[in-house]
Amino acid sequence: MTYETRMAWQNRLLLVPALVLLGCFILIPAVTAIYLSFTNDALSGYAASHPQLVGLKNYLRLFSDQGFWNSLIVTLAFVFGSSIVGQFVFGLAAALALRRPIALRPLFNAAILLPNAVPEVVAGFIWISMLAGGRYSTLSRIVGLIGVAPQNWLESAPLLMIIVVNTWRGIAFAMILMTSGLSAVPAEVYEAARMDGATARQIFWHITLPLLRPTIFLYMLVSTAGTIAIFGLIYTLTRGGPGGATEIIGIYIYNQSFVAYQLGYGSAVAVIMLAVSVALGAVYVRVLKVRV
Amino acid sequence: MASISIENVRKNFGAVEVIKGVSFEVADGQFAVLVGPSGCGKSTLLRMIAGLESVTEGDIKLDGKRINDVPPDQRGIAMVFQSYALYPHMTVAENIGFSLELKRVPKARIRAQVGQVAELLQLSELLDRRPSALSGGQRQRVAIGRAIIKQPRVILFDEPLSNLDASLRVQMRAELQRLHQELRPTIVYVTHDQIEAMTMADTIVVLNCGNVAQWAHPIELYRRPGSTFVATFIGSPRMNLIRGMIARQEVMPSFTAAEGWTVPLAGRNLTAADGQPVWLGIRPEDIRLVDAGSAADLSCKVAIVERLGAETYLSVVNGAETLLVRVQGDVALRPGDTVQLALDPAGFHLFDQTETRF
Amino acid sequence: MRQFTRAQAAAYGFLTVTLLFCLLPFLWVALASVDPNATMFLSLPKAITADHFVKIFTANNGGRWFFNSLVTVGATTAVVVIVGGMGGYALSRTNAWWKRPFLYAIILVRVLPPTALIVPLYKVMLSANGLMGALVRSVVPPDSTRAAMRIFGFVDGYLGLILVLSAMQLPLALWIIKTYFDLTPKDYEEAALMDGANGWQRLHRILVPLALPGLGAAGLLTFIGAWGDFLMPLTFTSSAELQLLPIGLFRAFQRANTIDYGYLSALALLYMLPAVAAFGLARRFLVRTFTGGIKG
């Protein structure tokens, strides 16, 4: 057997465990979800013991379900506000700022990293103190200093609040990725640009940003997908309320499956969510022209 | 020490044929250089000898035995990579001694042998450093040390000097030659630099995109290049090629250049036909400047003068022809001056339309 | 002599605002954890006490939760680093026809939300659990069945939880390690091969040391991801002995009448610490550059 064939077999073998893990615990359930969505399976009641195929009934139900559409819109706003705008802008700005000679850099780094380092449940927990309780919440007390009336933030502006919380949480990830992307740009490129007479703004738009494109792709993709999948953070904060105002799609599915016990219906929503995620991945790959 | 035999070797990468039937031999203890333009498969050929690429067709033999299917770690061949590939997390001593360590040679022996090799390569003071703390030339020597400590039958070099600056390159060329003289391993050396080839090789294989253009001793390549490719590749500055045709004037055959001037071709057994288009090759060093009034073959106008002190390169123009002339010593000519050239008949090379020598 | 340009001032200003934004929410939990009269709201404690921390380990199972989390997530990290290390290496080095599809599949899987998978996954695990149960019962004496199932069970067992957590973290790890190996030239492995190293020697003398930054980054990110995972433990563990920290915290928080904010804050801090420590370590790996063995 030649060296090359030996290596080829070795590569195949090395991938088997990964394939098994991913296949059993992700791919098979994904396919099963598709199957389930065509049934009326449930956690209780007659259908639990005798699930039947019901064709597209679940999907048709989705179309006229106000809750579903609401959830979709909430999720879109959530993803756009926190992941695409909030985290990215803060993260990129932080990455750029920290590339300069800054005193106390470790301190700034650590502070920005902290929100991302803590587990979801803790993050939700501490923001409750920030936001709930009307006059006594920390946020009310802060904005009170500039004359804004205290409110029960989680009730008066729930969507905005979860966007803020998720932005707070995700700056670090954006910053880390942007930093590594920025450092992959060799210093000589900037020097050449400066010798060509480019201003800082031109350098940013025409050199830094284009060279950051693959990094930005990776960030957008992973961050968006991750944000869609968020559950614990928001569940701890609002459980999806009030009145579905923060019922992001993950919570909607959970409520439909484990609270309303509608496994079939919940699976249908899950399948839609899977399809959207996959479509997202495809769009990003195409638009940002990434090659693997 | 071993001899290598490459027999009709072909290599395909998918649908692309990169090596198109190459054959040559390297005798025991010879320093063979594979030279050719970049991207022409030289490194691929080397890697096939090492065993890192498979052979699509043909045989590679070591001391007469076919080694196509022998894994690279069992061929007794060492390789110095273009990037040196020094293990960054090990010291110089550990890098060099790694192969011995793998064979479980006792530590004392390893230290002794590493010490010997280090002395040979003047690395003794650097043994505890990491590769990142070494200069390019030093890293290269470590890579060589790592190769020779294995006492391999063959050492392969993949463009080892291409990343060094000019003066270091000259120095390393001398070092490599010294090493070869002292240790006498069989060496196969890949480079795109014909100067390296000419100065170090016992035998040169000139490769032109997957084919062997010519395989011969360096001076033979210089004196009798088999094609215009080899003629212009070997020798610096490169050989002049002049278009023209053969004219058999009753008694004596001659070459008539496209620009009209003619030189006699005495003493050659030419089987060419009258009017046959050919190339006349003549090296810059075989062209002399003659004073006005003496016998000259053609007259040209000087376009560029490059004065190096010990010699001068003149780029001269005659109509559509441009020739390079190499003159000993310093010549104070200026662009625009007219010069008379005499071509040395001993330096004539004739190539037919297929660009091969005849 | 430092030039304090406008850009520099802007950088400092921005960073300071961001710093305050990031740290402010933590103030409450830090203070409340040592405040004997902690409430849900930010206030300066009038006295300091360590009671809350002590209570975690003496009462209310806090110590047990901590242990479970440590064991499960630690094992998950080991599994992911090994499986991901092998897979990432193979993905980087191969040029087979299945390389591109596999990589796209990883992106795809990475993009799938766990909440969408949880239901069918539960059904899969249930059946697997049945099989495992049969296996265990045939091998182990009846008294130890429960204990064995707690370790090897797929539902309500360490094994199942570890596997599920590993599967969730694997795609990112594969990607990180593959990218890392992409940046590592094959030269080192080939040089080692020519030096006479067999597969195992190449692996532990050359590949692993060289891959440490990548493996370290993947390992730390896996740890952080699995440590904070809420959904998987929620779904797959029910018996009290198996509860992990996030579930313990969440449930304690749900006891509406008697929420002991001091205790919860202390628990939250304890829960935070390993994740933060892991993050701190990850930074060192992410920053290390890679020079020396390759010229230029």
- The pLDDT, as a whole number, for residue C157 is 86
- What is the tens place of the pLDDT at every residue in C130-177? 888 888 888 888 887 878 888 888 888 899 999 999 999 999 899 889
Residues 110..139 of A with a Cβ closer than 8 Å to C: which? 110-123, 125-130, 132-133, 136-138
Residues from chain A contacting residue C199 (CB–CB below 8 Å): 10
- The nearest alpha carbon in chain B to C196 belongs to B73
Q: Which residues contact C182 (CB under 8 A, 6 or more apart)?
A: C92
Q: Which helix (H) or strand (E) holds C156?
A: none
Nearest to A231 among C21, C86, C115 (CB): C115
- The pLDDT, as a whole number, for residue C287 is 43
Domains of chain C: 60-287 (1.10.3720.10)
Say whether pLDDT at C23 is over 80: yes
Q: How far apart are CA B76 and CA C76, in angstroms?
A: 43
Say whether pLDDT at C296 is over 60: no
Q: Does C203 touch chain B (CB under 8 A)?
A: no
Cα angle B10, B13, B18 (rounded to 5 degrees) comes to 45
- The nearest alpha carbon in chain A to C38 belongs to A129
Q: Does A184 touch chain C (CB under 8 A)?
A: no
Residues from chain A contacting residue B12 (CB–CB below 8 Å): none
Question: How far, CA to CA in Å, does A2 sit from each of B51, B72, B75?
Answer: 8, 9, 13
DSSP string, B99-122: HHHHTT--HHHHHHHHHHHHHHTT
> SS3 for A240?
coil
Instruction: Extract the tokens encoding C289.
Output: 């550059």
Q: Which residues contact A190 (CB under 8 A, 6 or more apart)?
A: A203, A207
Q: How far apart are CA A292 and CA B21, in angstroms?
A: 34
Peptide bond into A242 cis (omega under 30): yes
For chain A, the structural domain boundaries read 66-287
Instruction: Indicate yes or no: CB of B52 within 8 angstroms of CB of A6.
Output: no
Q: Which CATH superfamily is domain B4-233 in?
A: P-loop containing nucleotide triphosphate hydrolases (3.40.50.300)
DSSP string, A69-112: HHHHHHHHHHIIIIIIIIIHHHHHHHHHHHHS--TTHHHHHHHH
> SS3 for B189?
strand
- The pLDDT, as a whole number, for residue C288 is 39
Report the pLDDT averaged over residues B37-58. Answer: 90
Instruction: Indicate yes or no: CB of A4 within 8 angstroms of CB of B54.
Output: yes
CB atoms within 10 A of CB B351: 20
Phi-psi region of B138 (alpha: psi -120 to 50; beta: other; left: phi over 0): alpha
The most confident of B352-356, C78-82, C95-99, by mean pLDDT: C78-82
Q: Which of A254, B254, A200, B86 is nearest to C185 (CA)?
A: B86
- The pLDDT, as a whole number, for residue A129 is 83
**What percent of chain A is modeled with pLDDT above 90?**
17
Report the pLDDT averaged over residues C73-101. Answer: 91
Say whether pLDDT at B100 is over 70: yes
Contacts 24+ apart (CB under 8 A), C279-286: C279/A113, C279/A116, C279/A117, C279/C220, C279/C224, C280/A110, C281/C216, C281/C220, C282/C216, C282/C217, C282/C220, C282/C221, C282/C224, C283/A109, C283/A113, C285/C212, C285/C213, C285/C216, C285/C217, C285/C220, C286/A176, C286/A180, C286/C213, C286/C217
| Shortest distance, CA C143 to any CA of chain A (angstroms) | 31
Instruction: Indicate yes or no: CB of C228 within 8 angstroms of CB of A126.
Output: no
- Which band of pLDDT confidence, cut at 50, 70 and 90, is reported for residue A274? confident
Q: How far apart are CA A202 and CA A212, in angstroms?
A: 14
Nearest to B89 among C191, C210, C296 (CB): C210
Give the total residue count for chain C. Answer: 296
CATH class of A66-287: mainly alpha
B290: amino acid identity, one letter: V
Q: Is the pTM of this model over 0.80?
A: no
CB atoms within 10 A of CB C126: 12
The most confident of A184-188, B147-151, C118-122, by mean pLDDT: B147-151
Largest CA distance in chain B: 81
Say whether pLDDT at C198 is over 60: yes
- The nearest alpha carbon in chain B to C295 belongs to B83
- What is the tens place of the pLDDT at every residue in B253-312? 788 888 888 888 876 666 666 677 888 899 999 998 888 777 888 888 999 999 999 999
- The nearest alpha carbon in chain B to C212 belongs to B89
Instruction: Indicate yes or no: CB of A21 within 8 angstroms of CB of C167.
Output: yes
- The nearest alpha carbon in chain C to B50 belongs to C194
For chain B, the structural domain boundaries read 4-233, 240-351
A/B interface, count of CB pairs below 8 Å: 14
**Three-state secondary structure readout of B18-81:** EEEEEEEEECCCCEEEEECCCCCCHHHHHHHHHCCCCCCEEEEEECCEECCCCCHHHCCEEEEC
Beta-bridged to residue B318, according to DSSP, are B321
Token pair 């309303």: residue: A260
- The pLDDT, as a whole number, for residue C293 is 28
- Phi/psi for A159 (5° steps) reads -65, -45
CA B352 to chain centre: 24
Neighbours, chain B (3 or more CB pairs < 8 A): A, C
Instruction: Extract the tokens encoding B125.
Output: 């003071």
Alpha-carbon Rg for chain A in angstroms: 23
**CATH number given to B240-351:** 2.40.50.140
**What percent of chain A is modeled with pLDDT above 70?**
94
Peptide bond into B218 cis (omega under 30): no
Q: Does C93 touch chain B (CB under 8 A)?
A: no
Lowest-pLDDT choice from A45-54, A133-142, B100-109 = A45-54
- What is the tens place of the pLDDT at every residue in A12-33? 999 999 999 999 999 898 888 8
The ipTM estimated for the assembled molecules is 0.81
> SS3 for B316?
strand
| Shortest distance, CA C208 to any CA of chain B (angstroms) | 11
Instruction: Indicate yes or no: CB of C120 within 8 angstroms of CB of A141.
Output: no
DSSP C141: -
Residues from chain C contacting residue B94 (CB–CB below 8 Å): none
Q: Which residues contact C87 (CB under 8 A, 6 or more apart)?
A: A14, A15, A17, A18, A19, C170, C174, C177, C178
Instruction: Extract the tokens encoding B42.
Output: 């030289």
Alpha-carbon Rg for chain C in angstroms: 24
Residues 244..283 of A with a Cβ closer than 8 Å to B: which? none
Token pair 């009326």: residue: A40
Q: Does C195 touch chain B (CB under 8 A)?
A: yes
List helix spans (H) across A118-262: 120-131, 138-144, 153-156, 158-183, 187-195, 200-203, 209-211, 213-228, 232-238, 249-254
Instruction: Indicate yes or no: CB of C196 within 8 angstroms of CB of B78.
Output: no
B249: amino acid identity, one letter: Q
Q: Does A101 touch chain C (CB under 8 A)?
A: yes
Q: Does A63 touch chain B (CB under 8 A)?
A: no
Instruction: Indicate yes or no: CB of B69 within 8 angstroms of CB of A4.
Output: no
Instruction: Indicate yes or no: CB of A133 within 8 angstroms of CB of C40.
Output: yes
Token pair 């099963």: residue: A32
Q: Do residues C214 and C172 lie in contact, with contact meaning Cβ atoms separated by under 8 Å?
A: no
Nearest to A231 among C231, C264, C283 (CB): C231
The most confident of B29-33, B192-196, C42-46, C268-272, by mean pLDDT: B29-33
Neighbours, chain A (3 or more CB pairs < 8 A): B, C
Q: How far apart are CA C21 and CA A93, in angstroms?
A: 15
